[in-house]
Amino acid sequence: MYTTTSTLAGLRPRVHIIGLGSIGTFAAHSISEILSGPTVTLLLYRKSLLREYRLVGSHIQFESRGGKKISSRGYEIETLSDSHWYSTPPTASPNKNYWKVTQTPINNPIVCVKGIQTVSAIRSLAHRLHRDSNILFLQNGSGVIETLNDQLFPDTKSRPNYLIGVTSHSVTLNKSFDITHTGFSATSIGAVPRDPDTNILETQSNYLLDIVPRSTTLNARSYSYTDILQIQLEKLSVNAFCNPLCALDDSPNEFLFTMPEMRQAILREI
């Protein structure tokens, strides 16, 4: 069990995580177990998630591949309501005035929502992001950064810095804030150059690149931009044939091993 005290929280860097599905919950738990790691704030984009968090005892339940169950606590909570983010007590409070609108800058957000939800999720946080913010996108898909630049951050001088994240871990979301780690693999992260023409990172902080690999559960490694882009495209290619074929046959991934010719043909085409 990992508990964060308010005293220590004020002295440590803070990581905000939005998108508490299987991978987001997995990332939150994994980062919370880093010794002397950052304070972790969970960004709950609907009130029902806050109720569910309180119902499970204000913690994340993690079950390892070996069946060991661990509860991680000490998360700070913000809840989105009426287009405002509120600093929220993790446990029920009779005093609703305890909720306070927060405008504090966000320096190290990790975005784990689905690709098509990214612009909407970031839009609610855009006023708290700045040139020195470093956004780690830990999600499937590609093209999100270009869309964000077009719709939310057209000014190249003031937009945040970006990092790409790709994970191949298999994680099952049993229910909100309750996950099972069903398949151990790796997580890859890399910084996106602020200016592609010069390959200069300028204001990019190395904090996420340094701290995320310290989680043994995430098994993360930092890569150059060209390498992480290649890894992202490979993951996109695999998902492009794996997901639809398995869905059509209503089968798990192992179904693909029964059709090697089809698998190879699609990969060659991609």
**Residue-level pLDDT at 267:** 82
* Positive/negative CA dihedral, 160, 132, 76, 215: positive
| Burial environment of residue 162 by CB neighbours within 10 A (0 to 12, 13 to 18, 19 or more) | buried
**Helical ranges in 70-204 per DSSP H:** 118-123, 144-151
If DSSP codes are grouped into helix, strand and coil, which group holds residue 31? Answer: helix
Are 155 and 126 in contact, with CB atoms under 8 Å apart? no
pLDDT above 80: residue 91: no
pLDDT at 136: 97
Strand order in the sheet with 170-175: 69-72, 60-63, 178-183, 170-175
- How far apart (Å, rounded) are the C-alpha atoms in residues 109 and 43? 10
Instruction: Report the range out of 33-42, 92-101, 230-239, 256-265 with the highest average pLDDT.
Output: 33-42
- Quickly list DSSP for 207-240: HHHHHGGG-TTTTEEEE-HHHHHHHHHHHHHHHH
β-pairing verdict for 69-72 and 100-101: unpaired
* DSSP, res 131: T
CATH class of 6-223: alpha beta
Per-residue pLDDT at 211 exceeds 70: yes
Cα angle, residue 29 at apex, residues 170 and 188 outer, rounded to 5°: 55
Domain extent listing, the chain: 6-223, 224-270
What are the distances in angstroms from CA 268 to CA 140, 237, 263, 264? 21, 10, 9, 6
CA distance 29 to 125: 22
Nearest C-alpha neighbor of 115 from the set 223, 209, 217, 232: 232
Token couple for 183: 């398949």
Worst-scoring range by mean pLDDT, 91-95, 107-111, 160-164?
A: 91-95
% of the chain exceeding 70 in pLDDT:
89
pLDDT tens string 132-187: 999 999 998 888 999 999 999 999 989 999 999 999 999 999 999 999 999 999 99
> Which helix (H) or strand (E) segment is 18 a member of?
strand 14-18
Structure tokens at 266: 């699609």
Q: How many CB atoms lie within 10 A of CB 57?
A: 13
| pLDDT at residue 194, rounded to an integer | 82
DSSP assignment string, 82-117 = TTEEEEE-SS--S-GGG-EE-----SSEEE-S-GGG
- CA pair distance 212, 37, nearest whole angstrom: 9
Kindly report the average pLDDT of the chain as a whole number: 89
Confidence of residue 3 (pLDDT cuts 50, 70, 90): very low
**Entry field: residues in the chain:** 270
